[in-house]
Each structure stands twice: as structure tokens, then as C-alpha cells.
Structure 1
């Protein structure tokens, strides 16, 4: 089975931030919700220690647990997959090549390449922490976003295109346009989902829906997104 085969069935994924506190009862309900996977990651405040702690707690449940790598100091062995973002809409090569080169220089001899999935990230909320951190150019036309997606899909052969609105609910017409423009890559959508209705809209536009912050703000609403996405 290839990595693409492993992630292809994923329709709904909960993304948990190691920096944020989550009680055992909440984590139990999240992991037993019927979601397809747990993604562990965040833009800031991610450490080796808080990542290890969260991984060890999620490991009690029988569902895939993947790490989205955002800090080289916080890469933890034991995840099922390692998702590595490549931010496409930035002019700062730090987030396209430099951090990746640094990571391979330091850890190349121990990288489990058969577990690494590259994500073509397109960041679209200028107020988001990730946008400011990566200096992403977010004021893009639908056509430009679709073009970036095709770069990931057709030129770079990346298995995942990730539209990241991080904190706001995105433009579903843009998401649909991107989905029509790519053929092989799997389209992940993340950002601003706070209701089952929004989750359903995102599910109709993207292949995989990532639900994050609402877990910490309104657990019942977060859990309702699973059924809304998966039916």
C-alpha cells in the first residue's frame, strides 16, 4: 500500500495543537468520534515535549495519528505519517526549501522516507499566524490559487494540496475551482469550520476536511462535523 492509498479514504481529520490543553474526556470523545485520523501540529509553541505527550495519549486509540511538521526540534518518532508543508504562495524560500534542506542535513540519516508526505500548502487568510510567519501572499485570484494547486499537482507531483484558511471559513467556490483543476493530488481543506453546515459545505468542495480550533471552543459542534462530512 502506498502513502496515497493510506490517506485517500480520509474524509474527516481532527487537527490537535500540542500547545493547547485538552482534557482526557475531551480527547476520548474526539478519538472515538468516527474521524478518520488525528493530525498533530500547530504554527507556534510546538515542542518535542508537548508533542510526545499528545502522541502518547492519542496512541491509546486505534486510528491513524500523523504529525504535521512545523518545527525541526519537535519531530517525534512513532507517528504513522509525517506531513511536511511546502508553502507555495510565499516568496520566502525558508518555507519552500530552506527549512527542508536544514532538516535533511540534520536528520537525513534517520528520516523514515516511506512515511513522509509532502503537502503543497496554499495559505489564504492574511490574518492567520501561519500567513504572517511564512509571509504568504494571500490576496490571490481564484485563477492564481488554482494555478498554484496545479504546480503542486502537475509540476511537483505532490500527493496533497492543502488550502489553509486558518481561522476563517474559506471561499467554497475557490475550493471547488481548485478541486476541478487538479487530477492526482488529494485536496485538503482547513479553516474556520465551526458548524456542521460549514463542514458539509467543505466536504462537498474538498476531498478531506480538517477540523481544528472548534475542538477547543465547542466540543459538541466539533463532534457534529464528523457526521456532516462522512454522512
Structure 2
């Protein structure tokens, strides 16, 4: 089951089907020791570019899941599917509209053991993700803690995903939200460009997601794998 799988993830790479990646770079990513690959993006994701990327990843033995942003880009053959529920959106379509339409068409044939919902909070108001989802990204500590409790206790999402989407976030803020989680697994993504940032993010989050760094500086992105898996991260806590 996908739920059992994600409980083991400390580090994942997120690859965007709409961005170019050489075969050599993809091989280094897939053999890096990362726990999984998430395929997804905020714009430009299609069935064709997703299935092409999946086919390339399938040459390697590691879990690969699709984070679905559009119904027409869903590709069969992934190990699992993550469904974002954007909690801080102004547009209800990103909470239940798109999801209801997808279930209307495909609900009868879905393998629910391979599908998980993510309670998403987007905190970079300049990001494509925030613009596309109409997210209210200017949140204070109490706002984020309330969303964390909503994900964990009200909706009981298996994942609470804090996404800074391209910038390195306020890890002290993220840490305070993490403290109220009891069941949901905390995913953190945003601005993790090197080992030092990965180490600090991994001290706060259960799973860190490294995306843009793959395309900007692959060598440093690969260093984040070992940093995220250092055994003493959680024991040391956050050191800014």
C-alpha cells in the first residue's frame, strides 16, 4: 500500500515532465539513494510528457508516483498517485471540484490502496503553484497551525505538505506547525538546494522534497540525499 511506502520516505526528488533532463542526469538521480520519485508540476504537464518521463524512470528500481495536477495528464503505470487538496486556496475547485470530476469519470476503476490525498499549503505567493491554485499564501503562525490541525484531525490526511515552491521557507514556522501533527506525515518542499539546507529541513519535516535544484545544480541536489538521511537529524532538532 502507498500509505505504508510513504512512511519510509525521508527524501524524494520531484521531477517536472515539462522540463528537460538528460539521460545521464536522470540516471544519477535514480541511483542516488533517494527513497522515491514524484512526477508532477504546476503547469505544462500533459499525458504525453508524463508518460515519456515515466518510461525513462522505469529503467530503474525505485518507487515512482504521480502527483496529479490535471485529470487529462493522469498516466497508468505509476506505483501510486498523490492528490493535492489545496487548503489555502480561494478557489474551491482545488479542494473538491477537480477531484469530484475525476471521480465521476474514473472512480469505479481506481485502486484506492495506491491513492493518497495530500493536505497542501502553498506559502510562496509569487510561485506558479500559488497563482494557478489562487492560494492565499500570506499566512502567519496561527494560520499555518490551524491548517496543520485541519489536515491532521479534521480531514485526517496522511500527508500535510508545506510547499514554498522555489524559495527556502521559514523552517521555524514549519517546525511549529509540525509539533501539532500526530498522524499526518509532514512533507516540506521549497528551496532545498544543497546539503546544509536539506539537513535543516529534514530536522523539521518527515520527508523533504527536492525539485528545482535538480535542474539548477545537479551535483548539489544529489548531496541532499545523504544529508536528509543522517540519523541524528530528528534528535538534534532545528538549528538555524
TM interval, shorter chain, is over 0.9
> Any residues of structure 2 matched to 1:182-221 within 5 Å, and which?
182-221=181-220
Bigger mean CA offset, 108-117 vs 128-137: 108-117
Instruction: Mark the runs of 5 or more structure 1 residues left unpaired by the alignment.
Output: none
Give the secondary-structure state (helix, strand or coil) at the position aligned to 1:205.
coil
- d(CA) in 1 for partners of 2:82, 2:173: 23
Q: Which residue of structure 1 lines up, in the alignment, with residue 140 of structure 2?
A: 141
- d(CA) in 2 for partners of 1:156, 1:102: 20
Q: Which residue of structure 2 lines up, in the alignment, with residue 7 of structure 1?
A: 6
Q: Which residue of structure 2 lines up, in the alignment, with residue 109 of structure 1?
A: 108
Instruction: Mark the runs of 5 or more structure 2 residues left unpaired by the alignment.
Output: 231-240
1:34 is the counterpart of 2:29: no
> Any residues of structure 2 matched to 1:71-82 within 5 Å, and which?
71-82=70-81
Give the secondary-structure state (helix, strand or coil) at the position aligned to 2:124.
coil
State the shift of 1:98 in Å. 0.3
State the shift of 1:91 in Å. 2.4
Q: Which residue of structure 1 lines up, in the alignment, with residue 98 of structure 2?
A: 99
TM-score, with length taken from structure 1: 0.98
Could you give the per-residue CA deviations for residues 56-84 of structure 1, whole angstroms, max 9, x where no partner exists?
11111111000000010010001011000
- d(CA) in 2 for partners of 1:20, 1:87: 23
User: Aligned-pair RMSD on alpha carbons?
Assistant: 0.8
State the shift of 1:127 in Å. 0.2
State the shift of 1:159 in Å. 0.2
> Any residues of structure 2 matched to 1:171-190 within 5 Å, and which?
171-190=170-189
- d(CA) in 2 for partners of 1:226, 1:89: 30
State the shift of 1:109 in Å. 2.3
Give the secondary-structure state (helix, strand or coil) at the position aligned to 1:121.
strand
Q: How many correspondences in the alignment? A: 230
User: Where has structure 1 moved over 4 Å in runs of 4 or more?
Assistant: none
Q: Which residue of structure 1 lines up, in the alignment, with residue 235 of structure 2?
A: none
- d(CA) in 1 for partners of 2:154, 2:218: 40
State the shift of 1:190 in Å. 0.3
State the shift of 1:194 in Å. 1.1
1:224 is the counterpart of 2:215: no
